[in-house]
């Protein structure tokens, strides 16, 4: 079973999510207007330079003069999965996140949620 099929069948479908509106590639969607938009908070110019080095798809050329600020990150893709992005609408994302707030609901044990929330490395891992 592929990664995205597993996520859809074992995680999202039991939560009542419309699995036809979830995907990993932009080509999985006929309309990307409902997808969650990406923004990042930029404190200084070095952040943008580092991001451009590590994630070349960002290709941020124009650095805002009024830092700190929120910067819109246009849609881009990762070729490797499951390290890629799980794309969905804001409504679908809210259902997924409520599962975590409800200690796993029907798909994860509360112990699993507690383990995910545990801070590792004494908070020193960036």
pLDDT of residue 63: 73
pLDDT of residue 52 exceeding 80, the answer is: no
**Domain presence at residue 124:** no
Most confidently modeled range among 20-29, 49-58, 72-81, 116-125: 20-29
State yes or no: cis peptide before 80, omega within 30 of 0.
no
What is the domain extent for residue 102? 1-29+90-119
**Domain presence at residue 70:** no
**Domain presence at residue 51:** no
Q: Is the pTM of this model over 0.75?
A: no
**Domain presence at residue 61:** no
116: which residues sit within 8 A by CB, 6+ positions away?
100
Number of domains in the chain: 1
**Domain presence at residue 102:** yes
**Domain presence at residue 101:** yes
pLDDT of residue 9: 92
- In a 13 Å sphere around the CA of 68, the CA atoms on its Cβ side amount to 6
The token pair at 99 is 């599962």
What's the pLDDT band for 14 if we cut at 50, 70, 90?
very high
Pairwise CA distance, residues 47 & 68, whole Å: 11
The CA distances from residue 48 to 38, 40, 58, 79, in Å, are 15, 10, 9, 22
Pick left, alpha or beta for residue 121 (phi over 0 → left; psi -120 to 50 → alpha; otherwise beta): left
**Domain presence at residue 83:** no
**Domain presence at residue 4:** yes
Report the pLDDT averaged over residues 9-13: 90
């Amino acid at each position: 079973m592929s990664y995205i099929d597993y996520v859809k069948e074992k995680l999202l479908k039991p939560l009542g999510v419309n699995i036809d509106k979830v995907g990993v590639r932009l080509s999985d969607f006929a309309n990307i207007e409902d997808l969650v938009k990406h923004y990042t908070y930029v404190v200084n110019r070095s952040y943008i330079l580092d991001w451009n080095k590590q994630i070349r798809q960002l290709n941020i050329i124009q650095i805002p003069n009024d830092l700190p600020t929120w910067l819109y990150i246009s849609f881009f893709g990762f070729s490797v999965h499951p390290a890629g992005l799980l794309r969905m609408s804001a409504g679908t994302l809210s259902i997924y996140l409520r599962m975590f707030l409800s200690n796993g609901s029907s798909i994860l044990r509360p112990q699993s949620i507690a383990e995910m929330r545990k801070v590792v490395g004494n908070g020193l891992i960036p």
